[in-house]
Each structure stands twice: as C-alpha cells, then as structure tokens.
Amino acid sequence: MDNRPFGTCFFEQYAQITLATFLGGEMTSLVNRDRPDLQSPDGASIGIEVTRAMEESKLAQEALMKDIAGVTPSPRDEEIEQILEYGYAYGLKKGKYIGLKELSYWSMAHPMKRILESKVSKVGNGFYGHFGKMGLFVFSRENLGEKEAIDAMNYTLFLQKYQDNRYNRLFLADINDLFVCNLDDGLKESSRLIRYTITREQRQAFYTEAVRRQSLDSTSTLEATTSNNVLLSPEESV
C-alpha cells in the first residue's frame, strides 16, 4: 500500500470499520486502496471515497488549534493517554481534540458544500474509475443533525442529477452518528436516510482497531522500503 500523507489511512480504516459494523455484508470485505480509498477486493464492484468536512468559522479554527500536545493527563485519563501515544483523537473525548498526526488532515478540510461539489465533479469525470456501486464517506468535525444530513443528501442529488457517473450512497459521520443516504433514483426523501447512533464503547473500539491497522500498514510500508533498499546496489540507491 502507498504511504499516504496526513494520516489518511487511519480515517479510511475508521470509515471501513464503521460501515462494516452498521451495514455488514459486503462492507466487511472492503480493502484500503486509493482512488477511491475503499474498494471491494475485485476492484470493480464497490468503491467508496473517504474525505472530511469542517466549516470555516472562528469556532472551527479555534477547535483546530486546540492541539492535544499541551495536555497532561492528570488525573489519569486513558483516552488522553491514547491520543498522546498514537497521535489521533477522532472518536475519543467527544471530539474535543485533534491529535498531532491529524492536524494537517483537518487543516486542509473544506466546508461540507464545497467538499460535495468537488467530489461529485470528480466522480462525474471518471477520476475514481468505474465501479458497480460508488459511495462517498464524509467525516464531519461538527455534529450533524438530521436536517443537515438531509440538506447534504439533497444537494448531492442536485449536483449529480445529470451525470452518468454518480454516487449511489452518501455516508455522513460525526463523532456520534452515521447517516446513510440512498442516492438511487425513484425514492422518496423520507425513505432515503437512515441514522445510526455510535456509542462511546463503539467509538473506542473503532479507534483502537483503526490505530492497530494503521500501525500495521506503516510497518509493512517500512519493511517494503527497507527490502527494496537492500536489493539496490550503492549506485542504484543514490
């Protein structure tokens, strides 16, 4: 697997774990690749792009700069200690902090509307290739209500209305909820959206597993790089 910047692998794994937990079935076998980030093993049946959204507001900027690096866990706080050790905070402490390894990831985020516009345009022009079913998974730094989820769903439907290549599903996730939006034609608005509540215990489990997978991925990448360097002659390695 390629060595992606900004700790994106953690979030892609977190997304896959979330989908597998609540939807099961074919979501349990998704693998972490690129363009799009999650794919069915055959590389053709299912593709899901994973991204993030954060509103450009004073409060959002203040939240972004509330870096966990200056926090000392006293009295002992297991979740704070995990954030300090692994560098990721999403899923812990009610979304209050951003870990060191995800600062760049969130600093490059855009508001929901702009993210949807960009991703719908990319799927429309074939940037992610062609899959039997295509999904878009958006992490939100802000808590989403049902109204915000419906607005995002309807805007996505509007943006891709005349495109041949479209998303079949929109997944919107904040710290507490997963909204699954069915974007297929011929459905009433009332039947398009399902909301799943994510408990604290589930968030902890998702976090732990995503960190474990990300760590394994980093180790595999390092071993592959080391192996390649060993095979090179001194002249080739320059």
List, for residues 148-204, the tens digit of each pLDDT value.
999 999 999 999 999 999 999 999 999 999 999 999 998 888 899 999 999 999 999
43 in any annotated domain: yes
78 in any annotated domain: no
User: Average pLDDT in the 205-217 region?
Assistant: 87
199 in any annotated domain: yes
Q: How confident is the model at residue 72 (pLDDT cuts 50, 70, 90)?
A: low
Q: Taking every pair of C-alpha atoms in the chain, what is the biggest distance, in angstroms?
A: 65
184 in any annotated domain: yes
Q: At which residue do the structure tokens 């002992």 appear?
A: 76
How does pLDDT run across 6-63, given as a tens digit for each residue? 457 899 999 999 999 999 999 999 999 889 999 999 999 999 999 999 886 655 555 5
23 in any annotated domain: yes
76 in any annotated domain: no
Q: What pTM does this model have?
A: 0.83
234 in any annotated domain: no
Q: List, edge to edge, every strand of the sheet that includes 38-39.
A: 31-32, 38-39, 46-53, 133-140, 169-173, 177-182, 193-197
User: Average pLDDT in the 78-86 region?
Assistant: 88
pLDDT at 235: 41
75 in any annotated domain: no
pLDDT at 57: 60
Separation of alpha carbons 202 and 208, rounded Å: 10
Domain count of the fold of the chain: 1
User: Average pLDDT in the 76-85 region?
Assistant: 85
Using alpha carbons, select from 225, 44, 14 the residue that is nearest to residue 139: 14
Range of the domain at 196: 5-57+112-228
- Judge contact between 169 and 133, C-beta under 8 A: yes
